[in-house]
Amino acid sequence: MVSKLRRLPTYFIPHGGGPWPFIELPAEQRSEHQRLAHFLRGLLADVGRAPRAILMISGHWEERRPTVMQREVNELLFDYSGFPPSTYELHYPAPGSLELARRVQDLLGAGFSSATDQHRGLDHGAFVPLMLIVPDASIPVVQLSLVNTLDPETHLGIGRALAALRDEDILILASGMSYHNMREFFQPSESGEARGSRRFDTWLTRAVVADPYTRAAQLAQWQNGDDARVAQPREEHLIPLMVAAGAAENDPGRRVYSGQLFHAYVSGYRFG
C-alpha cells in the first residue's frame, strides 16, 4: 500500500459559512468569497497531483472516540438551516473507501480506541469545500470525527498516528475556521473588523510557521494565544488544525490563504 510518490502535504482549510458558494451573498462579501473559492479550486494544483483518496476531518462532527465513516458511496448531511431550498438538493456522489477506513482504524489502533459509522453522510464542513476542490467527485472520501473532549493534545496525537497516510498517497484535509465567533462575525468593531480576529490570526499564524519542533507545544496551548477565546468561544472549528499539524510531524507550516470573511480575519495553512 506504500506509495513511491512524494509525500503529500496536509492542510487546514476554512470552509466558510453554510453552503456559501451556492447562495447569493451580500455584494460587499462577494469579492472575498470569490478569493476563497479560487483558493479551494486551486488546492490540488498546490498539492501537485490528485491523491488516491482524501481523509477529511471537519469541525462539524464530534464523537466520544475517533469515528471513521465507513461507506462505499457517500451521501450528504445537510447540517445547516435557513438557506434556500436548492441548497438542500446539492449532490456530491464521491465514493467512499472501505480500504482507507480500515487503514485509518489500523493506524489509530496503536494509541486510540476508535469506532466506525456506516450511516452518516458528509457534513457541510466536508462536502462544501470538496465541491470546489474536486468538483467531479472523482476522488474517494472518508471522513473522521473529532473527539468530543476537543483536547488539542489528543488531536495532535491522532494526527501523528495518521502521518503514514501521507506516504500512501492519501491527502489529509482538516476543515474548520480559524475564527468562529458567530456573534462577532456580524457585529464588527469601529475599525470594521470582528473583535479579536486580527490579533488571534496573527498569533495563530506565528504558531503554525514556528520551528516545527516547538509548534505542537504552542498549538496545544492555543487558549493562551492573543484573544483566543474571543476568536474561538468553543473550539470545535479550530481543533481540526491539530490533526493536520500532528500529521505534519516535523515538516514546516505556512499560510496559504488569508482573507476577511464577514469582517473576520481567517487563514488556511499547509504543512509540508
Q: Give pLDDT tens digits for 41-74.
A: 999 999 999 999 999 999 999 999 999 999 999 9
Q: Do 116 and 67 contact (CB within 8 A), yes or no? A: yes
Q: Give pLDDT tens digits for 77-97.
A: 999 999 999 999 999 999 999
Residue 202, Cα to own-chain centre: how many angstroms? 19
pLDDT at 186 over 80: no
- Joined together, the cell numbers standing for residue 67 give 469515528
- Joined together, the cell numbers standing for residue 202 give 496573527
- Joined together, the cell numbers standing for residue 113 give 480506541
pLDDT at 2 over 60: no
pLDDT of residue 188: 66
- Structural domains for the chain: 10-271 (3.40.830.10)
For the chain, give the mean pLDDT: 95
φ, ψ of residue 268 to 5 degrees: the values are -125, 150
Question: What is the pTM (predicted TM-score) of this model?
Answer: 0.96
Average pLDDT over residues 239-262: 96
Spatial distance between the Cα atoms of 29 and 25, rounded to a whole number of angstroms: 6
Supply the DSSP symbol for 52: S
Give the number of other CB atoms < 10 A from CB of residue 81. 7
